[in-house]
Structure 1
Amino acid sequence: MVAFVVLAAAGCAGSAPGAGGKVDVVTTTEILADLVQRVGGDRVSATSLVPAGGDPHSYEPTPADAKRVARADVTFTNHLLLEPQSLIKTIDANAPKDAPNVSLAEAAESYGAHVIPLVEDIGLDVLWLGLRVRGTGKARGATRTSSIQLTATKIDGPGKLVAYLTESLGQPDLYFDSSNPADSTTLPPAAHTHLNWAFTKPGVYHLTLEGKLDNGRPLGKGTFTFAVGVEPHQVEPADGGKATVLDDGHTDLTVDLDSGQVYAYSDAQRVGAAQSVVPAGRVVIDVPGKALETVPDDPRFAFLGKAGAQIHQLPQAVLGKHVHGEIDPHLWEDVANAKAYVQLIRDTLIEVDPQSAPAYKTDTDAYLRELDELDEYVRSQLAKIPADRRQLITTHDAFGYLASAYQLKVAGFVVPNPAQEPSVDQVRRLSETIRNLKVPAVFTEPNLAQRASVLTQVARDNGVRVCSIYGDSFDEHARSYVAMMRHNADELLLCLGESR
């Protein structure tokens, strides 16, 4: 699609800003388009690629989108892996070379934006193991549209080692299989994903993982050791030195774009703490007896062995393909971050249309005052919610900034990403959370109504209200960022602050 989109846009060029027409701005989301329009006023035409009510996490671009980008004077994305890689590639491949192409979430820190990590805590009783790419790799020629290849150059052990992803409808997708040498997969920069790791026989396994950029530059390799159904502290790691046993928490086998190293990035030594680097050659990953699973009676899983056979497996935990970064991308849920976006937008518009600088500054100052009033309104409304009722349970993990800025707590969500289907364990834990915390309400998102059935049913089963707040997009009842945030504040107070 990206190759076709580039061809479709060949020969197009952005118009001259301010020369008898408006500055043509293309954004990825409705929220960004609204912010741009408020700064630019009638000197700007701002439109969103993701349509009204669409999901920016999963939107796939079209050739028509590429043509719109090719005509743009300015493009704004949120990024931090909010948008899918295909959408980012379409923008970067088709945006005119002399037109600013700004990633707001990544550039707004210099304007005072506050970013928070995207924390995942599934609470498994075995290690949660994934794959990750860290760093930007700019010195090696990487960009945000690069693909980093992770190849299993060598796998050995007493049985088969298979790393695979279970998609949302249960279809397995093989990443590494020791019966197929040199299997590989790709990830974008600063991303990670979750996998199942299956072992058909107990014993000691070694996996050598090698990274390579799509421009051909090597990124190093490392060998990881797995102790499957055996005492991990008695297993020698690949480098023969002192082992670091990883047996709990969250770990990713990681390729580092900046250092050119392959290592484990893990919080297993201090569960709940920030992840830290463990050299591949020292790693021993514990796959204990309690990780035993039965091969499903389903021909799609025949690669694991005969139906009913026992295998050891570290679970994927989050059903469906789930690629994201280390930073929560939903910055706008804190009004102070939206103010940083607005100032960055102002300066970008002045860069392309300097003759209108006074007007951009005047409109921005007026909008910033309105955002200050909005911030105070949200803060004062949410301050009325009693401390023991400030628990937020939502459809997906999009409200960390709202909670952080306005003293709420994200108590739970159905899935981290709205493109996923919840597992049975996720639904069970959600029900337990609602009961244990005695929450009075849960919150769905208007644009994810079809994804809200699980949360709605869980709420009904537990006798709590179902309310609605906005996360990633607008609808006919809220057509601006200010209206969206005022609604969220009012709805949270109505549903959490008042007795039923």
Structure 2
Amino acid sequence: MPASADPSDDPQLRQSLDANQQIVRGDRVLESGHVDMGPKFDNGNWRFLIHDDARKADPGASSVWRYPQQTVLHVTDAAKLPVPDNPAYAFIGAPPATPVWVVPQTQNPDVVWVGWNTQDPQVMQRIDRGITLSLTGVQGPGTVTVYLHSGNFGTPQILWDSRKPEPQPVWVDVNTHTHANWVFTKPGVYLLQLQAKAQLVDGSTVSDTQLVRFAVGAGTSATDALAASWPRPSASPGDPSAASSETGQHPDGTAASESQRSLPWLLVGVTALVVAALTVATIAAARSSRTRRRVFAARTAAGDDRTPADQPNADGGGNR
């Protein structure tokens, strides 16, 4: 069963989306303000996009949808916080008091506020009950965890952990708007592969998988984040043969097994053994041929005109 990501009763999460909000093209770096990820129909096609709610901060601006491959979520150093000295937060993957970068569940105006929604009007009309939002792959220099908590002393509900090799699904009801805590243990470029899948009211199933790009830390280039790809440049984001160099995890969420990771070296070793065996056999055959020629030459000089095929073997036995 997928985990559930129900929003808390937070007034900041009460919103409705305009059906006329446009999908725009062009590179964009977002380092503050309200941002949601979510599904939308793009010329009739189901797409997982990023909702840039610029109007929330500036009434004169327009809120729009953006393509993930053209968008960078820049988590600046204003997001740095120490890991709590509390066993409940050991899952973060860094010792207590270690600075990490946190996109908080409750908005910090100096940090990009990242969440997700299922509130596009056409989406709400056409999906059956909700969507499954899954983390299926991660690439980055550190550990990423995403969790919810209720109140200051609530037990963290872990939704996603980049150290897990399997896909991690979260169920999101229709007309839901949720924000969570996103924790990055090291600065650098992170690619999170997320899949939004749903059953429509007509019984059909739709799905879209995209790379969401994070540039974490003041010194991390947004340009590098835009240019980043999975380790095999020839592989598409959904190609299960392209493995993450940091996690040993395929972008489709399946783990690269130890035997898969060691297979190239095993093939090299087998090839070397075969070459060595062939070399020894060739040398032995050449020596045997020279020996037989010398024996034949000696017998010819003695008046024995039998061919080498008629001669006894070197061990004294006849040819068989």
Q: TM-score range by the shorter chain?
A: 0.3 to 0.5
Q: Select the structure that is richer in helix.
A: 1
Q: Which has the higher contact order (CA 8 A, sep 6+)?
A: 2
For normalisation by structure 2, the TM-score amounts to: 0.34
Given the two structures, how large is their TM-score scaled by the length of structure 1?
0.22
Instruction: Flag the structure with larger Rg.
Output: 2
Tell me which protein shows more strand as a share of its residues: 2
